Amino acid sequence: MPDRRIQHIKRFSLILTAFVLLIAASCNITKHIPDGKALLRKNTIILKSDKVINNRGEIKDNLNKLIVQKTNTYSSGFIPFKLWLYNRRYSKYSIKADSSLPKSVERPILFDTSYIARSVQNMKSYMFNQGYFYAQVNDTFIIRDKKAYVTYHVNAGVNYLINKVSYDADDSNVTAILKDDADESGLKKNKEFTYGMLEEERGRITALLRDYGYYRFSQENVTFKLDTVNKTYFKDVESPFENAINFIAQQKSNKKPTVDISVIIRPTDDPAVYVKYGIARVRVYPDFQAQSDYRDSTMIKKVRDSVLFKYHKYYVNAGVLADHIYLNPGQIYSQDDYDKTIVKLNELGIFQYIRINFREDTANHNMLDCNILLNRTKKHDFSTNYEISSGSTYTLGNSLSFNYRDRNFAKGANLLTIGVNGGVELQYNDNYGTGFFNHFYVLTNYYGLNASLDFPKFIAPLPNSIFDNGNLPHTILGGGTNVIDRLDYFTLINTSANFTYSWRATPTQTWTLSPAFINIIRVPYESDSFKQALSNNDYLKNSYKQNFIEGENITYTYNDIDKKHGANYSFLKLGIEEAGGLLGLINDVGASLNDLYSIKYAQYTKLDFDARHYFTFPHSVAAFRFYGGVGVPYGQSDALPYIKQYYVGGPYSLRGWRIRTLGPGSSVPANTVDINTIDRTGDIKLEMNGEYRFPIAPLFAGAIKMNGALFADAGNIWLEKKDTSFVGGEFRLSTLGQDIAVDVGAGLRFDVASFLTLRLDVAMPVKKPYIHTESGWVWDQIAFDDPSWRANNIIFNISIGYPF
């Protein structure tokens, strides 16, 4: 024990020394600052208001962005790593032009007072646009030890509430449209006013009227008049003294002032603004090359639904394109149809760019000729993906996959995908072989072949009319075979097929419906030791048995990342799956026919969920996830099939445990079952994750961005029914606190040219559910200097992409 304490003291001394050296380096950053100059060390914003500011954090962040002169980059808030690198090689970098400096270094930012006035004006303009019409911004600065500290004092004052909104248009038809759609306006009574609302309203009105055929209408035809004087306090024109008292009383009250908004619609200098346009002709050029295509009589011509298609080469079926075009001859022009056409043609995935041009038809008054210009993308695509994962210092896994895609299979814009994947999981054992590399041996092989065919149309005996015209589902057929070969134990083969519909209901909501899927699970090989392990455990015996699964599922997904423009966005996924219901009915028929036949199959119902929220800050992101599911076997099934069971651990789950080695509940591995032989799975799963992500430094002139993360994971799996082989493995609310496992860790993410993210995470468990002292918390057992503790508790994961 004394030796361990001495080692701890030595390690702490080294860490403290390194920390002191970093502080010293940060304190010496002004050594190349000329006399009479100062390094801009810090900008501070102090935001005040007499009233509550609902979005204080957002306003303060935006004010920070408006400061013209920024400071150098400070890692962790106080270490100027890039400036420190610059000072280390000052003689080399000081003579270089700014454009030739590597992105890993920064020159010192010299304080310049001329930027302050511009920053103050930016802040005043921003506050005005946010509805704080009388905001005041004052600045102060101090210089100490050649370092400048600037403070901006922002007194927001009071912002305005919307009182009344009126529409003033000099065309009765336009007035009627605006009034009918007024409920969709963002300008609502008692809502806090910002100038951004006016821009949104201008865009909404323009899109609305263009959707009604007013093709020449533009945002320039919409203006606003604001009245910030509340007339209710000036009722008595005969008594100006009383009016003044009322106004002062209103200012002293806790009520916010109000603004009346008049929306004015005028045609400016174009009388055709109030003219509705129709579509005369539609021409589509699927492989457009140049303007000469308009007059080229040698091109291949096809007509579908009165739309003319002109090809150089007939490479995609005209009928498929016609189903994704919503601009048709004889219809009134609609902005919504225009937008929908671009979106749907893009979804086909066979075009590099899409352009739609309109020209006023000279022969037909108030009619438009529409030309849709498309440029084809490459038909074939190949990709590879390689992943490495490490559950601990003695386990290594890696996988490799090849994928081929044909974006225009059979000339129908059908997406054919074929994927081949394989991998090896290695186990490390000091007693196996000689030499470090010989200590590794193969534990598991896994490989598979999968294919899918995505049709951009609804294939079913049902009519398309049951769906909205703009949201017709894709139809997807898929199938494949995957093999798990756990050497010396068992071989499991899963052959699958599915029939699926997928469609986007709104820009934020999508649905996936599989009216039929099939899994055939075979276990052609079981070793004697594996059979012995199963014979002692009914749950495992039922999990690994051969099975036939037929069922259906539906999944709903909500994702508002595009709507929120990547700021504070959410993700929600809900899924329901049922298997065995149809086969149960068929079996009942067989039983009614004097037991003519009987089918063995799996029966269960599953509910899955995945909820995430992302808080975005100027230079970091806090991400949170809560997900899991519940599966209930019934009828012929005593347990969920192996491929449908839940597990935790690994690089995308609880990172303090190796994959499938935790749970169920507070159970511990039985003496007769090797933890590396039998996967730990369950019928119920709950998991929570939190991760703080932040930038560290660019590498190789910015080609690779190194980011960091601090994270914590919590959760477990459980059995739906009690099983004597897993004591404490069933789900019970009374023991939920004990059953939850917790780990903490840190990681690095290397973003390679915004194309690939390589992730390295290291984590350790801090709460083990199978330890019943201190409710499972093991903080007091942490011993970084103990090799045995590190081998069993420090878990490394190397993977591709973010965990969630």
Pick 791 or 508 by higher pLDDT: 508
Domain end (from 222, 249, 273): 273
SS3 503: strand
Distances (CA, A) of 718 to 181, 451, 666: 52, 33, 9
pLDDT digits (tens, 9 = 90+) for 753-792: 777 788 999 999 999 999 989 999 999 999 888 888 888 8
Instruction: Give me the domain span that covers residue 227.
Output: 161-273
686 belongs to a structural domain: no
Examine the domain organization and report whether 150 and 8 are in the same domain.
Answer: yes
* Angle in degrees, CA 489, 796, 646, rounded to 5: 50
Distances (CA, A) of 155 to 119, 251, 281, 495, 764: 15, 17, 59, 67, 47
Three-class secondary structure assignment of 115-163: HHHHHHHHHHHHHHHCCCCCCEEEEEEEEECCEEEEEEEEECCCCCEEE
Residue 389: name the closest of 803, 784, 804 by CA.
Answer: 803
Examine the domain organization and report whether 9 and 151 are in the same domain.
Answer: yes
Examine the domain organization and report whether 149 and 180 are in the same domain.
Answer: no
How many whole angstroms separate alpha carbon 38 and alpha carbon 489? 70
Q: What are phi and psi of 56, to 5 degrees?
A: -55, -45
pLDDT digits (tens, 9 = 90+) for 400-416: 899 999 999 999 999 99
25 belongs to a structural domain: yes
327 belongs to a structural domain: yes
pLDDT digits (tens, 9 = 90+) for 315-345: 999 999 999 999 999 999 999 999 999 999 9
Q: What is the DSSP string of 406-456?
A: EEEETTTTEEEEEEEEEEEEEEE-TTSSSSTGGGEEEEEEEEEEEEEEEES
How many whole angstroms separate alpha carbon 311 and alpha carbon 785? 72
pLDDT digits (tens, 9 = 90+) for 619-656: 889 999 999 999 999 888 888 998 899 999 988 999 99
Examine the domain organization and report whether 19 and 138 are in the same domain.
Answer: yes
The overall average pLDDT reported for the chain is 86
Residue 607 confidence (pLDDT) above 70: yes
Burial class from Cβ neighbours inside 10 Å (0-12, 13-18, 19+) for residue 665 reads buried
SS3 101: coil
Q: Are 598 and 590 in contact (CB under 8 A)?
A: yes
320 belongs to a structural domain: yes
Enter the tokens of residue 200. Answer: 């949104």
How many whole angstroms separate alpha carbon 444 and alpha carbon 644? 20
pLDDT digits (tens, 9 = 90+) for 660-702: 889 899 998 544 344 445 678 999 999 999 999 998 888 877 7
Cis status, amide bond into 664, omega within 30 of 0: yes
Domain end (from 214, 243, 273): 273
How many whole angstroms separate alpha carbon 641 and alpha carbon 495? 13
234 belongs to a structural domain: yes
Q: Are 39 and 29 in contact (CB under 8 A)?
A: yes
**Rg (the chain; Cα; Å):** 34
SS3 790: helix
How many whole angstroms separate alpha carbon 80 and alpha carbon 87? 11
Examine the domain organization and report whether 23 and 91 are in the same domain.
Answer: yes
Distances (CA, A) of 726 to 591, 662, 669, 674, 679: 36, 12, 8, 14, 13
pLDDT digits (tens, 9 = 90+) for 533-559: 788 777 878 888 888 999 999 999 999
How many whole angstroms separate alpha carbon 583 and alpha carbon 601? 8
Q: What are phi and psi of 109, to 5 degrees?
A: -85, 110
CATH of the domain at 325: 3.10.20.310
707 belongs to a structural domain: no
Q: Are 423 and 398 in contact (CB under 8 A)?
A: yes
Q: Are 150 and 122 in contact (CB under 8 A)?
A: no
pLDDT digits (tens, 9 = 90+) for 564-593: 877 889 999 999 999 988 887 877 776 666
357 belongs to a structural domain: yes
Examine the domain organization and report whether 84 and 138 are in the same domain.
Answer: yes
Lowest model confidence (mean pLDDT) among 176-180, 522-526, 556-560, 795-799: 795-799
Domain count, the chain: 3
The mean pLDDT value for 177-190 works out to 92
- Residue 463 confidence (pLDDT): 65
pLDDT digits (tens, 9 = 90+) for 97-144: 888 888 888 899 999 999 999 999 999 999 999 989 889 999 999 999
* Angle in degrees, CA 793, 796, 800, rounded to 5: 150
Q: Are 693 and 749 in contact (CB under 8 A)?
A: yes
Q: Are 123 and 103 in contact (CB under 8 A)?
A: no
In the chain, what are the helix, strand and coil shares in percent, each to the nearest 5?
25, 40, 35
Contacts 24+ apart (CB under 8 A), 124-129: 126/62, 126/63, 126/66, 127/59, 127/154, 127/156, 128/195, 129/194, 129/195, 129/196
Enter the tokens of residue 265. Answer: 């619609």
Examine the domain organization and report whether 241 and 321 are in the same domain.
Answer: no
6 belongs to a structural domain: yes
Domain end (from 102, 131, 155): 155
Examine the domain organization and report whether 167 and 231 are in the same domain.
Answer: yes
User: What is the number of other CB atoms lying within 10 angstroms of the CB of residue 281?
Assistant: 17
Lowest model confidence (mean pLDDT) among 214-223, 468-477, 675-684: 675-684
How many whole angstroms separate alpha carbon 765 and alpha carbon 512? 37
Examine the domain organization and report whether 299 and 265 are in the same domain.
Answer: no
Examine the domain organization and report whether 257 and 288 are in the same domain.
Answer: no
Examine the domain organization and report whether 225 and 281 are in the same domain.
Answer: no
Enter the tokens of residue 603. Answer: 């029966």
SS3 64: helix
Examine the domain organization and report whether 166 and 260 are in the same domain.
Answer: yes
Helix pair angle (195-211, 114-129), 10° resolution: 50
